[in-house]
């Protein structure tokens, strides 16, 4: 039931927004009482925090697996990161919408749990790029910190326009992004 409440909340917060969707909307959708809701969560913001944590922890876990794969070059790790973000759109578009839009509705206590994980995700990307600069895979005249934000921008922006079931496959999109990032678009 805990899972079902979270999933229904993701759908409702994503469609209508956190403020607009009430606990009553959530329980009505599930056909359960408010008592059931309060058995699992303190309040609506408590659910929001779990959505945020689950979203970023899921991404961090996948990123960790990439980072620890000793067979991969830094170039391949970067590719795998972009691919992973794009692949998550299909399953997590609504979660992402909630994550990017509703952060300010988290209490300060909860924000301080989520923000460090979001920063960790960016710093891991930066680490891949910096390692690639150090070992000669990437050029050394560009700053790894700002490049990591550029790569995040390219990848995360897809959440706002890319349709995974459309004409362009996830692999094609990842290939195109990585060609731009690695080789540039200049002839």
Contact footprint for a copy of itself (CB under 8 A): 16-17, 19-20, 75, 101, 104-105, 129, 136-143, 146-147, 149-150, 152-158, 161-162, 168, 173, 176-177, 179-187
Closest distance of CB 118 from a copy of itself, Å: 10
For 32-107, where are the alpha helices, taking DSSP H only?
34-40, 44-67, 74-101
- Select 3 or 104, whichever has its Cβ closest to a copy of itself: 104
Count the neighbouring beta carbons within 10 Å of the beta carbon of residue 69.
Answer: 11
- Select 60 or 154, whichever has its Cβ closest to a copy of itself: 154
Closest distance of CB 14 from a copy of itself, Å: 10
- Select 59 or 147, whichever has its Cβ closest to a copy of itself: 147
Query: What Å distances lie between residue 158 and 70, 137, 183, CA to CA?
Result: 28, 26, 20
CA 19/CA 5 separation, integer angstroms = 16
Closest distance of CB 6 from a copy of itself, Å: 21
Closest distance of CB 131 from a copy of itself, Å: 13
Provide the CB-side half-sphere exposure for 104 (13 A, CA). 3
User: Residue 31, by phi and psi: left (phi above 0), alpha (psi -120 to 50) or beta?
Assistant: left
- Select 57 or 145, whichever has its Cβ closest to a copy of itself: 145
């Amino acid at each position: 039931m805990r899972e079902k409440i979270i999933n229904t909340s993701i759908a409702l917060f994503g469609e209508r927004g956190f403020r607009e969707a009430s606990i009553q909307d959530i329980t009505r959708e599930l056909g359960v009482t408010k008592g059931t809701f309060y058995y699992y969560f303190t309040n609506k913001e408590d659910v929001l925090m779990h959505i945020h944590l689950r979203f970023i922890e899921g991404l961090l876990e996948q990123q960790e697996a990439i980072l620890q794969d000793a067979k991969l070059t830094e170039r391949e790790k970067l590719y795998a990161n972009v691919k992973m973000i794009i692949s998550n759109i299909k399953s997590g578009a609504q979660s992402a919408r909630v994550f990017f839009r509703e952060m300010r509705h988290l209490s300060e206590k909860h924000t301080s749990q989520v923000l460090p994980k979001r920063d960790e995700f960016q710093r891991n990307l930066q680490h891949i790029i910096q390692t690639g600069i150090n070992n000669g895979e990437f050029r050394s005249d560009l700053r790894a910190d700002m490049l990591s934000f550029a790569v995040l921008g390219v990848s995360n922006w897809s959440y706002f326009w890319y349709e995974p079931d459309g004409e362009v496959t996830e692999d094609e999109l990842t290939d195109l992004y990585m060609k731009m990032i690695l080789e540039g678009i200049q002839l």
